[in-house]
Amino acid sequence: MQISSIQNTIPEIINSNKVESTNDEGFGNLFTNFLGQVNKDQENEDKLTKEFITGGNVQIQDVMIAGEKAKTSLDLLMEIRNKALDMYKQLTQIQM
């Protein structure tokens, strides 16, 4: 496994996560796609963990990276949910 510098990785992450606005894609589709990606991260982490435990050709650092990626994406999802709920509560309290 080759370790690259973070300076080369950050632009790749930014470019791969860009979302182009189209009339077809609203917040619901964007959120659904993000949920799907979080689910894929969780499934990938489970698969790598099982392969490692059964003696497959998986190294421990790959398992740890997949676990942290799954944890981070789930944490981000929970923060988005919390902020959306806070926003909804504030909007319902606005009196005109």
Asked which of 26-30, 45-49, 60-64, 92-96 is least confident by mean pLDDT, the reply is 92-96
Average pLDDT over residues 49-56: 94
Contact assessment for residue 38 and residue 74, using Cβ atoms and an 8 Å cutoff:
yes
Contact assessment for residue 65 and residue 40, using Cβ atoms and an 8 Å cutoff:
no
| Per-residue b or e along 65-91, where b marks 16 or more CB atoms closer than 10 Å to that residue's CB | ebbeebeebeeebeeeeeeeeeeeeee
More confident residue, 2 or 46: 46
Rounded to the nearest integer, the mean pLDDT of the chain is 82
Average pLDDT over residues 23-33: 76
**pLDDT value at residue 5:** 57
